[in-house]
Chains A and B, each alone.
Chain A
Amino acid sequence: MIGTHVEDMLSAYLEDELDGPRKAAVEVHLAGCQECVALLEAMRDTRDALASLPELEPSPGLLRKLYAIPERKKKFRPVLDFLLRPSLQPVFAGATGLMVFLSFLAFSPAGHSLQKNFIRQVHQGYGRAEKLYAKASAIPDEIGARKESLLGSLRSVDILRTGGEVE
């Protein structure tokens, strides 16, 4: 049976990183456990196999693409710099706020009732504006009538005055 305690130390044993007492304990265990000896061998073979995986060369196509990255970045740099100017940040913030508000209106249930309420308010406002407009259009007639009445009064005062002088 593989000892869990020993199993935890096999890598360190393999790399000769254990201190004297722990190394001795592992060796005592290995002396009586063929399964752990086989496991240690398999770990050694695993490590050797991993270490002997040779490195590959990147393909010329990949290298071409990698060399082109700084040029591509330079090409888009002026546009990026323009868009990331600090002076545009309030514009982006405003646009984001507006988008959030419009999304809220369009997609949330609370937004729908708000939208209905808003439309009702707009209709009411429109009705009030119509009434005001009607009242406003009546004002010239009223002014005309008052003007006539005033002129009539002035005329009668004039007649009285001239009548007094004749007498």
Chain B
Amino acid sequence: MLVNAYSKKVFNLAYQFSGSRQEAEDMTQEIFLKLYGSLGKYDFGRNFTAWLLTLAKNHLIDEYRRTRWERTQRDELDERTMTQAAFDGPEKSLAREEDRKTVWKALGGLSTEIRATVILRDIQGLTYEEIADNLRLPLGTIKSRVNRGRLQLAAILRPGKGEEA
């Protein structure tokens, strides 16, 4: 069933994109509504996950352009998330936790297109080719967006590290 197979993926994409659990829940519902309404248009020759991801990403970007473009404030990282993250190892966990918090908040400052690309590459773990195929953009554009996104995030992360040193 579609909900069993894809709800977690879509919810996490929406959460990483919006930074808010409540908004992610609302958007997941909207994406599933759209999905059920568009199933008739699905081309069976195409990878279903890629098709769903494109639909979800387009919805997220459209929504943010339409109503929430000014929003940059993100929720604190979920407590349960941090507890899970602590399994990385005791020596690294504190520094990593700080990095995660900083990067998580900084994601909200990226433009919608760059944010979507960075999330797909660095959080969802898609290859550049898969992202280019999903977003129907040239490979070079995707690589350039990921690089720009990482540079912007790194510029926010770097002063913090400088202070620690």
Contact = CB atoms under 8 A, between A and B. Distances in A.
Given A45-B99, A49-B96, A62-B7, A39 B154 contact: yes
Interface in A46-63: 46-59, 61-63
Interface string B34-67: 0011000000000000000000000000000000
Interface string B1-21: 001000110011001100001
Contacts of A47: 122, 150
B118 A73 contact: no
B88 interface: yes
B158 interface: yes
Contacts of B88: 52
B80 A39 contact: no
B160 to A, nearest CB: 9
A53 B81 CA distance: 8
A49 B3 CA distance: 29
Interface of B: 3, 7-8, 11-12, 15-16, 21, 25, 28-29, 32-33, 36-37, 77-78, 80-81, 84-85, 88, 96, 99-100, 102-104, 118-119, 122-123, 125, 143-144, 146-147, 150-151, 153-155, 157-158, 161-162
